[in-house]
Chain A
Amino acid sequence: MNTLTLADIETIVDTMVSVALAHEDEFSQLDGLCGDGDFGASLATGFDAIRTQWAELDRTSISAFALKCSTIITSKTGGCSGPLWGTAFMRFGIGARGRESLSLADLVALSQAAQAGMMARGGAKLGDKTLLDAMDAATTAIQQTADADGSIPRAFAAAARASAAATETAKSWTARRGRQSFTGNRSRDTYDPGMVAVTKMLEAVSTCFPIST
């Protein structure tokens, strides 16, 4: 399996929705250690709105689907998570224009576009202990698989491992952006909820695309 179709993208988004809803309390508790404790609820509200409108979502193309998801997430997700996650979907959707399927190389480019958009929107940089650090690690892993055999299942598995490792590494960092940064050194030795969410989503997506032996 070396390309992703619209149906695969739908599977991925549906999986992200499930993770956001299933881990709502856990994400909020993580956020509550240093932030304002609403991350899980905010994320769940936005992704739940996607599920509510699932049947009517625009499926004319990967791009249209991603842009519709972007609009819903931005409009329905509370706090700063809405514009940030919404921007990721929007940049993905704009970058996917005219594509009927995506290769791993495409996925890397779109993920980088999404990260660049989030950085522009929220002002975070790599190393600030935000979900961008997890996305960057995952993207690098996908790039490496793209350079090797281009297998999508292998890429997702590698991305999930890389994201989990980055989340663990960043645990000892001090947050420099977002609500957690207000607590200064208190954010050390806590997991960043955004990074945990990205990791859980990648792990769940990975199980949807099993590596054939």
Chain B
Amino acid sequence: MKKFINDPTHFVSEMMEGLILANPDTLRWKKDSNIIYRADAPRHDKVSVIQGSGSGHEPAHIMAVGKGMLDAAVPGNVFAAPPMDYIVECFKLMNTPKGILHLVNNYQGDRMGWDMAREMAEAEGIRTELVVIDDDVSVENSTYTVGRRGVAGNFFVIKAVGAAAEQGEDLDELVRIGKKVNGVVRSMGMALTGCTPPAKGEPIFTLADDEIEMGVGIHGEPGRRRDKIKPADQLVEEMFEAVAGDLPFSKGDRIGLMINGLGGTPISELYLLYRKAALLCRDRDLTVVQNYVGEYCTALEMAGYSITLIRLDDELETLMKAPAEIPIRTF
């Protein structure tokens, strides 16, 4: 293992400390519970929107905290759901009279931990609602899931409910919007390499020089098949068909298109991939209203990418274009 680390057990906390030192005016850190939150949260005139999952997917979710996005994020260790008591602390810290919306990607560990924490919080009189994200079309069930996995589509759910929360919408309305987004967003990823969690010290899986994992999960879970590397356009075509055919997206749709790097793919290659995806959209008469090229949901240093399509209507388009400010980007 060759990584920029001091001590594997300090990986997550030192990353959070760096994030706080870089954003002293906008972010706060509750160190003993792994909570990164907005300096102005909780605000009593809005619903708090929170999320937490394993670390290693940055910028998801601690770097998606900011105005117009998450109010707080509570990560666990690398690829491990946050402990329940941390989540309960996050509920208490972010409690507002308008309640809390928590977003959960569909993994068993996350689902159970958040469900339990939510029961505990509600027993203390905190009002919470839940939206589950399961946008990955690669496989129907997976190593850590019953049902589809939640991956980069998560960004669009955060963006939409974050914007609506900022406008003062109530909890029920945010649930409606969150579920609506999850219903129209689809993703698929693939890997050129595995990745190495610092505490594990060795790769979760390895691929030969000429091998790819098509449909890989963001924790290195197996996808549809292991295959030989092909020209980039062919890889994009296969994944685009799988994603676009799933909803399905149809002629005339207005869409958002995301090419998301999994952590070890240069931005140059991401734009090369975006080129083909955008051309396929044009061929299919899908109008790309919003595009996102970069890292939104990663798997440590895995080389690979995912493609996400979201079907927009007037409501969602407005929410996607609403201002937002997080450490990695201003919208």
Q: Would you call B325 an interface residue if the criterion is a C-beta within 8 Å of the partner chain's C-beta atoms?
A: no
Q: Which of A64-100 contact B (CB under 8 A)?
A: 67, 70-71, 74-75, 80, 83, 86-87, 90, 94, 97
Query: A121 touching B120 by the CB < 8 A rule?
Result: no
Hey, which chain B residues are within 8 Å of A117, CB to CB? Answer: 119
Chain B, Cβ-Cβ closest to A68: B85
Hey, which chain A residues are within 8 Å of B247, CB to CB? Answer: none
Query: A71 touching B112 by the CB < 8 A rule?
Result: no
> What are the interface flags for B77-98 relative to A under an 8 Å C-beta threshold, 1 for contact and 0 otherwise?
0000001110010000000000
Q: Would you call B113 an interface residue if the criterion is a C-beta within 8 Å of the partner chain's C-beta atoms?
A: yes
Q: Would you call B115 an interface residue if the criterion is a C-beta within 8 Å of the partner chain's C-beta atoms?
A: yes
Q: Whole-angstrom distance between the alpha carbons of A67 and B84 in the complex?
A: 12
Question: What's the tally of chain B residues with a CB closer than 8 Å to chain A?
Answer: 12
Chain A, Cβ-Cβ closest to B146: A123
Q: Which of B117-139 contact A (CB under 8 A)?
A: 119-120, 123
Q: Whole-angstrom distance between the alpha carbons of A94 and B84 in the complex?
A: 16
**Max chain A Cβ within 10 angstroms of own Cβ: one of B113, B115, B120:** B120
Query: A75 touching B85 by the CB < 8 A rule?
Result: yes
Task: Report which of A80, A86, A97 forms a contact with B116, defined as CB distance below 8 A.
Answer: A86
Q: Whole-angstrom distance between the alpha carbons of A75 and B76 in the complex?
A: 11
Hey, which chain B residues are within 8 Å of A97, CB to CB? Answer: 123
Query: A94 touching B116 by the CB < 8 A rule?
Result: no
Q: Which of B287-317 contact A (CB under 8 A)?
A: none
Q: Whole-angstrom distance between the alpha carbons of A94 and B118 in the complex?
A: 13
Chain A, Cβ-Cβ closest to B85: A71
Query: B85 touching A121 by the CB < 8 A rule?
Result: no
- Min CB distance, B256 to chain A, in Å? 35
Query: B123 touching A94 by the CB < 8 A rule?
Result: yes
Query: B85 touching A90 by the CB < 8 A rule?
Result: no
Hey, which chain B residues are within 8 Å of A86, CB to CB? Answer: 84, 116
Q: Whole-angstrom distance between the alpha carbons of A70 and B88 in the complex?
A: 12
Chain B, Cβ-Cβ closest to A95: B123
Query: A90 touching B112 by the CB < 8 A rule?
Result: no
Chain B, Cβ-Cβ closest to A94: B123
Hey, which chain A residues are within 8 Å of B84, CB to CB? Answer: 71, 74-75, 83, 86
Query: B115 touching A121 by the CB < 8 A rule?
Result: yes
Hey, which chain A residues are within 8 Å of B88, CB to CB? Answer: 71
Query: A87 touching B116 by the CB < 8 A rule?
Result: yes
- Min CB distance, B2 to chain A, in Å? 29
Known A-B contacts A71-B88, A121-B112, A121-B115; the reply to A90 vs B120 at CB < 8 A is: yes
Hey, which chain B residues are within 8 Å of A80, CB to CB? Answer: 108, 112
Q: Whole-angstrom distance between the alpha carbons of A14 and B157 in the complex?
A: 45
Query: A83 touching B120 by the CB < 8 A rule?
Result: no
Query: B112 touching A83 by the CB < 8 A rule?
Result: yes
Query: A83 touching B123 by the CB < 8 A rule?
Result: no
> What are the interface flags for A109-126 relative to B under an 8 Å C-beta threshold, 1 for contact and 0 otherwise?
000000001000100000
Known A-B contacts A71-B88, A74-B84; the reply to A121 vs B116 at CB < 8 A is: yes
Q: Whole-angstrom distance between the alpha carbons of A212 and B108 in the complex?
A: 47
Q: List 18 A-B contacts (CB under 8 A).
A: A70-B120, A71-B84, A71-B85, A71-B120, A74-B83, A74-B84, A74-B85, A74-B116, A75-B84, A75-B85, A80-B108, A80-B112, A83-B84, A83-B113, A83-B116, A86-B84, A86-B116, A90-B119
Q: Known pairs A75-B83, A83-B116. 15 more at Cβ < 8 A?
A: A67-B120, A70-B116, A71-B84, A71-B85, A74-B113, A74-B116, A75-B84, A83-B112, A83-B115, A86-B84, A86-B116, A87-B116, A90-B120, A94-B123, A97-B123
